[in-house]
Structures are given as structure tokens and as C-alpha cells.
Amino acid sequence: MISVDQLVYERFFAPVFQPVSFRLGAGELLRITGANGSGKTTLIRVLAGLLEPTAGRVGITADRIAYVGHQLALKDDLSVEENLKFFSNFMGTGTTSAATAIDALGLRRVAGQLARTLSAGQRKRCALARLLLSPARLWLLDEPYSNLDTEGCSRVDELLASHLARGGACVMATHGNHRPQVPVEDELALKAGTGS
């Protein structure tokens, strides 16, 4: 679903990370690890098409990708439920209702609360709930477990497990203590380039 060959991204003429190559098919999860500043976020943003690679190739066969980065892209003046309904309408998907996504991420108690008043973990859960409302087969997740408690991490693992079981694929960057409790097809230890 995604193949990456000798990918390089330079900032100020210096590579942010050492060249990256991998392949990932349906039902597979790639975990990208690496020290602070090794370029995980930069790599995910290149894969998502938000940054232009300097060299190498990214080939994606999935017709849609879902990206959850550090900027959660919530609408602060809408409630959790309104955010999810908006997203669902925007994506044109009616397959999973906002209510199902709210329950899957344990957000029922704060469903009517404005996004701007949510805790960091609740905001993260709301952003991740959008994955259930997206038809994308390829997920690109930057630190999906950050700000989540143990129960929240388990819910992410459940989302991942069912996504992979349905033939989806996922590239995730994480350096946190929580290791995904789903089979990891491959692990890529990113190393900083000369520009980091």
C-alpha cells in the first residue's frame, strides 16, 4: 500500500534523517522509532505529502490517507459531537456514525463539551475518533499514544487491530513507553541526518 525508496528530506541543504526505504502492504503496521529530533514527525509529514521530499520516492496505492499529527485540527468552537459530525459530513461517509466513534474513544461524557475546553487526552481521543469516520485505508499517525492514559492507549490498539484486520495499513511514529499491542510488521529506527 505504501513503498518508500531512498527517501531524503533536506532542510537548509542538510538531511534531516538518513535515507529511508520500506514497503508496507494491507493489514500491516510499521512502527517508526527514534530519539527526539531524529526526524519522525518530518518523515510522517513527507509521507503525508505535506512536505516535498528532496530525493527518493514515495509510492502510495491507497486512494485516501488519514493523517493524525501533533496539530489535532479540531474546531475549538464546536463540541466533540459537532466536530465528528462535521468531519463525517465533510468526508461524505455515513458508514460509522459520530455516536459510534464517540463510544469507541470513550468520549460519551464530554460529547457536548466544546473542543476548546477538553483536556489534552480528551482532545487526542477526539482527533483519533475521526479515523473511524474516514474511508482511508492508509493511516499515518504521529505519536498516537501521546497524552493518553492506559485505557486510552488500549482503545487506540483496538482501533488499530480492527483497521489492520479489515486490510488497512498504518505507519506510526512513536518513542513513548507504550508499545502497540497489535502485531507490528516492521520497525524502523530512524537516525538523524547531518542537519539535525
Residues that bind ligand ATP (CB under 6 A): 11, 16, 34, 36-42, 175, 196
**Smallest distance, ligand ATP to C-beta of residue 35, A:** 7
How many residues in the chain? 196
CB under 8 Å to 87, separation ≥6 — which residues?
130, 133, 134
3-state SS, residue 117 = helix
Helical residues (DSSP H) of 23-171, grouped into ranges:
40-47, 80-91, 98-104, 120-129, 150-165
Q: Would you tell me how many other CB atoms lie within 10 Å of the CB of residue 47?
A: 23
**Smallest distance, ligand ATP to C-beta of residue 50, A:** 12
**Smallest distance, ligand ATP to C-beta of residue 161, A:** 25
| Closer CB to ligand ATP, 79 or 196, in the complex | 196
**Smallest distance, ligand ATP to C-beta of residue 69, A:** 10
**Smallest distance, ligand ATP to C-beta of residue 26, A:** 27
Residues 98-128 as b/e (b if ≥16 CB within 10 A, e otherwise) read beebbebbbbeebbeebbeebeeebbbbbbb
| Closer CB to ligand ATP, 36 or 150, in the complex | 36
| Closer CB to ligand ATP, 50 or 165, in the complex | 50
| Closer CB to ligand ATP, 99 or 189, in the complex | 189
Q: Give the amino acid at 100.
A: T
Instruction: Supply the DSSP symbol for 105.
Output: T
Write out the three cell numbers for 159. 482501533
